[in-house]
């Protein structure tokens, strides 16, 4: 599927205020989340049907030619207080020429046990690189837009030594924020099933821009540099 997103930064002092504003805009309360993201480097290309690119037609013409970084995400504050299932996420480089928002093709699906095996150490498919936590995190949903506000924490040294899929969750007090000032990361994104359907794409982008206008002044959404989202592995 295709994702359109906009980003912003919220200083720590304004965090509460922004949560209130968004609760008013969406007329609902935030859901608190604690997301753990593992970053893997793809070691081998898959030639068979388990393609990691977007489905429906277009990948047959363009096979995955470059190795890229993939993410495994799970929400540790699930509905029952248990750890949620791992979700695989692959993001493409954003399309160029889009000054108003970031537009990129992504794949995301929940992994079963068999597929998880590919990510364990020892299998040649993926190599573990790093992980980070997003906590405290809040999520709002406004019609089709998903808004995520979180603070990114890096895990302490040595967490990668154990198998990260099974290792216990790093203790929150040991993790330091990546940004020492404690700024929060704000992301607003709309997902579209099929990036080729221009009618839906127009609808989605119109909704995203309307949302940007609506929160203008409270949160200034902008488009970061395109190549900062590059997920290709360098040197291959």
Partner 1 sequence: MASLILRPWTHDSPDTSSLKDILARAQRGHFRDITEVSLQEEIAGEGAFELSESESDDEEEDKDEEQSSAKPSTRDDLFKARLEMLRHVDAAHNDVMIALDFVSLLLTHDAPEKGKASISAGLRQEVPIGTLGHDIWHKMPQDKAREAQDELLATNVRMESLQQSADSLLAAATRLDDNVRKETRYWDHVLSINENGWNVCKLPGQQHRLGVTYGFSDSAPEFARRGVAALNATADGTMVLERGVGSKPRAVRVLLKRGEAVVGCSLIPALRNEGEVALEARIRHARDSLFDEELYHEMLRESRGQASLGISTKGDCIVLTPNSGESPLATEVVFELVSLDEVEDEAGEAREQDPLAQAIALAARMLLSQAHREKVKKRSAVPPPMSERKDERQSLPILRPIMAFMLHKAAIDQINSYQARIESLLSATSIEHRTQPAAFAFPKDIEAGGGEDLISMLMQCWTSEASLVLDDRQTTMRLETTLATSFGTQYTLSSADGRTTKFGTQDELRAACDDALASELALRLKRGADGGWECNVREALLVRADDEQGKGRRVWVTLDSETGVLSLNTPTKKVSWGSQVDVATSFSEAWAGLVE
The contact set with partner 1 (CB under 8 A) reads: 1, 27-29, 31, 139-141, 143-144, 146, 190-194, 197, 199-200, 203-204
Closer of 130 and 203 to partner 1 (Cβ): 203
Work out the angle at residue 233's Cα, subtended by the Cα atoms of residues 9 and 226, and round it to the nearest 5 degrees. Answer: 35
In the three-class reduction of DSSP (H, G, I as helix; E, B as strand; rest coil), residue 198 is classed as: helix
What gap in Å lies between CA 199 and CA 170, rounded to an integer?
44
Closer of 31 and 236 to partner 1 (Cβ): 31
Closer of 45 and 111 to partner 1 (Cβ): 111
Closer of 140 and 184 to partner 1 (Cβ): 140
Q: What are the b/e assignments for 99-132, b being 16+ CB within 10 Å?
A: eebbbbbbbeeebeeeeeebbeeeeebbbbeebb
Structure tokens at 126: 């993926």
For residue 27, the minimal CB distance to partner 1 (Å) is 6
For residue 211, the minimal CB distance to partner 1 (Å) is 14
Q: CA 188 → CA 47, 56, 70, 86, distances in Å? A: 34, 25, 21, 22
Work out the angle at residue 138's Cα, subtended by the Cα atoms of residues 129 and 108, and round it to the nearest 5 degrees. Answer: 50
Closer of 27 and 114 to partner 1 (Cβ): 27
For residue 125, the minimal CB distance to partner 1 (Å) is 26
For residue 154, the minimal CB distance to partner 1 (Å) is 26
CA atoms within 13 A on the CB side of 180: 0
For residue 28, the minimal CB distance to partner 1 (Å) is 5
């Amino acid at each position: 599927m295709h994702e359109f997103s906009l980003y912003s930064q919220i200083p720590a002092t304004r965090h509460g205020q922004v949560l209130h504003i968004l609760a008013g805009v969406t007329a609902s309360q935030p859901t608190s989340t604690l997301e753990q993201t593992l970053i893997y480097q793809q070691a081998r290309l898959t030639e068979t049907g388990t393609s990691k690119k977007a489905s429906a037609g277009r990948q047959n013409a363009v096979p995955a030619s470059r190795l890229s970084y993939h993410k495994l995400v799970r929400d540790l504050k699930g509905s029952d207080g248990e750890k949620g299932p791992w979700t695989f996420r692959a993001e493409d480089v954003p399309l160029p020429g889009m000054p108003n928002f970031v537009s990129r093709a992504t794949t995301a699906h929940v992994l079963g046990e068999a597929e998880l095996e590919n990510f364990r150490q020892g299998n040649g498919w993926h190599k573990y690189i790093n992980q980070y936590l997003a906590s405290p995190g809040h999520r709002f949903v406004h019609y089709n837009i998903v808004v995520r506000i979180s603070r990114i924490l890096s895990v302490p040294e040595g967490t990668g030594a154990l198998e990260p899929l099974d290792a216990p969750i790093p203790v929150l007090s040991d993790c330091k924020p990546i940004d020492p000032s404690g700024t929060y990361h704000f992301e607003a994104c709309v997902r579209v099933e099929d990036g080729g359907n221009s009618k839906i794409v127009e609808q989605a982008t119109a909704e995203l821009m309307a949302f940007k206008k609506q929160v203008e002044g409270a949160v200034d959404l902008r488009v970061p540099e395109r190549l900062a989202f590059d997920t290709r592995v360098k040197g291959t």
